[in-house]
Structure 1
Amino acid sequence: MATQISVTDNPCGDDEDSDDPRSLLELLGDEYTQRVLFAVTDQAMSGNEVAETADVSKATAYRRLDDLEAAGLVESETVFDPDGHHHEQFYAVVETIDLAFGGGDVSVTVETEEDGDADRPSIPNRE
C-alpha cells in the first residue's frame, strides 16, 4: 500500500505554503537533486556514498538529501557498525510523481512507499 501526497496550487493565489507544488518542482528541477535522488533509488547509501555516486561534494549531497527528506521523497535510517560507530543510510521512497494542469491549478501527486514496504532498498548490514 502506498501513501499519496497531493498538493494543488492556484498560481493566482497569495498563499505561500510549504506544500506548494512549485517548491517541489523547483527541488526536482535541480540537476544535483536529480543525481542524488537517482543514487538512492535502487540502493540505500550513506551520505558519503551518495556524494561519490552522484559526483557531487559531500556538502551538496547532504543538503540535497535533507531537502528530499523534508519533501517526503527520501527517508533515512541509522545503521550501527560492528565497531559501535553509526551513520545514516538514505533511500528513496518515491514511486511516482504526477503533474496535472487544469482549471488554473497546478496539481502534483507524489506516490511513496509505506514504511516497511517490501520493495524498499535493503540497508546493508555492516558486520
Structure 2
Amino acid sequence: MNGEGAAGPSELFEVLADEYARDILVAADRRPMTAKALSDACDASLTTVYRRIALLEEHGLVKKHRSVGPGGTHRSKFETTLEGLHVDLSDGELSLSVETRDELADSFTSLWEDMRGDG
C-alpha cells in the first residue's frame, strides 16, 4: 500500500499523530488483543479504542480476527499489520509508503514460488 492510494500522506500522518492510535498499534503488535485488553493497555476508554480501531482498520493498519468462545460467544481480537513506514522527499514531493505484514507474506510466497519454478 502506498500513501497515495485510499489515503494520502497527510491523512496517514494525521492518523499516526494520534497518541491513542499509536498506543494501539504498539500494544496490538505484541499480540492480538481484544478491545477491552487494548483499553486497559492504552489507558483509554472502550469508546476511544473502538474509534481508533475503526480508523486504523480503514487505513489497513490493524486487522480483526474473530473467534467463537465457550458458550458460543463471539470475540474479536485486533492485530497490527503495519510492518514499515517509509517517507521520501524528492523533487519537492512528499511520498509515503506503508508495508504491511500481508504484503511481506505475499512477497515471500511469490519469491518462494519463483525459486521453485511454480510462478
- TM-score by length of structure 1 reads 0.76
Given the alignment, which residue of 70, 74, 86 partners 1:82? Answer: 70
Indicate whether 1:69 and 2:57 are aligned.
yes
Alpha-carbon distance in 1 for matches of 2:25, 2:53: 8
Aligned pair count reads: 104
Q: Which residue of 1 aligns with 2:2?
A: 6
Q: Partners of 1:92 and 1:84 in 2: how far apart? A: 26
4+ residue runs over 3 A deviation: none
Say yes or no: does 1:91 pair with 2:85.
no
Corresponding residue to 1:60 among 48, 66, 74: 48
Shift of 1:114: 1.4
After superposition, the CA RMSD in angstroms is: 1.5
Gaps in structure 2 of 5+ consecutive residues: 106-119
Instruction: Report the equivalent of 1:110.
Output: 98
Inter-partner Cα distance in structure 2 for 1:83 and 1:106: 51
Shift of 1:7: 2.4
- Equivalent residue, structure 2, for 1:25: 13
In the superposition, the TM-score normalised over structure 2's length comes to 0.81
User: Which 5+ residue runs of structure 1 have no aligned equivalent?
Assistant: 9-16, 118-127
Greater C-alpha radius of gyration: 2
Whose helix fraction is larger, Structure 1's or Structure 2's? 2
Match of residue 121 from structure 1: none
Please tell me whether the aligned partners of residues 3 and 12 of structure 2 are also in contact (alpha carbons under 8 angstroms): no
Q: Percent identity?
A: 30
CA–CA separation in structure 2 for the residues paired with 1:32 and 1:69: 14
Q: Partner letter of residue 66 of structure 1?
A: A
Higher strand share: 1
